[in-house]
Amino acid sequence: MTALVLLSYEENQIRSTSRSTIAAAKKFGEVHALLVGHNLSELSQKAAKLEGVTKVLVADHEAYAHMLAQPVTDLILSIAETYDYILVSANAEGKDILPRVAGLLDVQPITDVVEVVNENTFVRPIYAGSILATVKSSDNKKLLSIRGTAFEPVSDEGGQASIEALSKVAHSEKALAQFVSVEVTKSDRPELESARVIISGGRGMQSGANFAMLEKIADILDAAIGASRAAVDAGYVGNDYQVGQTGKIVAPQLYIAVGISGAIQHLAGMKDSKIIVAINKDPDAPIFKVADYGIIGDLFEILPQLENRLANR
């Protein structure tokens, strides 16, 4: 069986979520990677080194420059026949393209896969992640989008894939969509929903001014800052910091909860984080039940130590 993985990249870097997708694809057999875009020479070299990839297909043409759904779909359709599995990352790009391909192949796509049970059975979250469903596909071809956080990414070294240029540029004569521009959100801090690391403060912070302690650590870790509703209600920080049932739902690699008790409404927004750290002075605080690592103690002592330790790592 052979799987095709559509690579996702940003500024000449293959995204780690694509490496996770490859990890998932390896469970089905041989893995080919598809690199679509314009001016891809550097990227194709990088793609060839990806662990577990045996062949990299490169479609380099200005029509593909912005990964627009219609031309990329047409391209994938032109090579789909040889593949039993087509995988994309469950990010905006992958989610845009995969279903369009699926519809034209008459396949029901399986999105946001977090576990591969066997060759036709997969686990995916439903109801905003509160429930996990195990589904079995009877389609001949399986089209999957993969949640990056759920699979350990393969290494970006050690692979020796062959590179094959796709000569036939299969985009329709008339493009249905014209690229205008991209506004890259450049803020000093990553956004909550996309941050790799989040450090959140609760009512234990005692004041808005004390959030400066979190900011210093966030600067070191390139982290976003979040808050509990109690902290928002107390006016320490604005509404858009709130994580939880009625705030933002996040799943970073690392979530550090400082002075947050861990009420179920807060957990609903961050429980899918890969690693959770809790800092709280109350050993019975429910947050410790969901934390991978906990420190019991006064946050006003611990935070400066943590900042120090991280800065001098």
Partner 1 sequence: MKVLVPVKRVVDSNIKPLVKSDNSGVETDGLKMSMNPFDETAVEEAVRLKEQNIVSEIVAVSIGEAKCQDTLRTAMAMGAYRSILITSDELLEPLSIAKILQKIVEKEQPNLVLMGKQASDDDTNATGQILAGLLGWSQGTFVSKLELTSDKARVHREIDEGVQILDLTLPAVITTDLRLNEPRFASLPNIMKARKKPIETIALSDMDIKTTTRLEMLSVKEASTSREGIILNSVEELVEKLQNEAKVI
Partner 2 sequence: MSESAREKMEFDVLIVGGGPSGLSAAIRLKQLAPSAQICLIEKASEIGAHIVSGAVLEPTALKELFSDWNSRGAPLETPVKKERIMYLLNDRKSIQIPIIDWMMPNMVNEGNYIISLGDFCRWLASEAEALGVEIYPGFAGSDLIIEDNQVMGVLIGDMGLDKDGKPGSNFTPGMELRAKYTIFSEGCRGSLSKKLISHYNLRKKSDPQTYGIGIKELWEIPSDLHFPGYMQHSFGWPLDDNTYGGSWLYHFGKNLVSFGFVLGLDYANPWLSPFGETQRVKMHPALKKHFKGGRRIAYGARALSEGGFQSIPKLSFPGGVLVGDAAGFLNMPKIKGTHTAMKSGMVAAEAIAEALNSAQIEPVNYQKRMQQSWVWEELYSVRNIRPSFAKFGAKLATVYTGIDSMLRGKVPWTFHHRQGDNTKLDPADMSQPVCYPKPDNKLTFDRESSVYLANIDHRDDQPIHLKLKNEAIWKTVNWDVFKSPESRYCPAAVYEVVNADVEPTLQINSQNCVHCKTCDIKDPTQNINWETPEGGSGPNYPGGM
Ligand X SMILES: Cc1cc2nc3c(=O)[nH]c(=O)nc-3n(C[C@H](O)[C@H](O)[C@H](O)COP(=O)(O)OP(=O)(O)OC[C@H]3O[C@@H](n4cnc5c(N)ncnc54)[C@H](O)[C@@H]3O)c2cc1C
Q: Which long-range contacts (CB under 8 A, 24 or more apart) does 266-270 make?
A: 266/202, 266/228, 266/229, 268/130, 268/244, 269/243, 269/244, 269/245, 270/198, 270/200, 270/226, 270/243, 270/244
Least spacing, CB of residue 264 vs partner 2, in Å: 5
Q: Which is nearer to ligand X, 90 or 267 (CB)?
A: 267
Q: Are 85 and 25 in contact (CB under 8 A)?
A: yes
- Indicate which of partner 1, ligand X, partner 2, none lies near residue 269 (CB less than 5 to 8 Å, by partner kind): ligand X
Which of 166, 281, 295, 307 forms a contact with ligand X (CB under 6 A)? 281
Q: CB neighbours (10 Å) of residue 39?
A: 11
282 sits near ligand X (criterion: CB under 6 A): yes
Query: Which residues in the 170-209 window bind partner 2 by CB under 8 A?
Result: 203
Query: Which residues in the 239-258 window bind ligand X by CB under 6 A?
Result: 242-247
Helices 211-221 and 299-311 pack at an angle, to 10 degrees, of: 20
246 sits near partner 2 (criterion: CB under 8 A): yes
Query: Which residues in the 141-160 window bind ligand X by CB under 6 A?
Result: none
234 sits near partner 2 (criterion: CB under 8 A): yes
Q: Which is nearer to partner 2, 41 or 239 (CB)?
A: 239
Least spacing, CB of residue 140 vs ligand X, in Å: 43
213 sits near ligand X (criterion: CB under 6 A): no
Q: What distance in Å separates the CA atoms of residue 247 and residue 245, rounded to the nearest whole number?
A: 6
Q: CB neighbours (10 Å) of residue 263?
A: 17
233 sits near partner 2 (criterion: CB under 8 A): yes
299 sits near ligand X (criterion: CB under 6 A): yes
Tokens linked to 105: 């192949």
Instruction: List residues bridging with 226 in a β-sheet.
Output: 200
| Residues lying near partner 2 in the complex (CB under 8 A) | 203, 233-234, 239, 245-246, 263-265, 284, 286
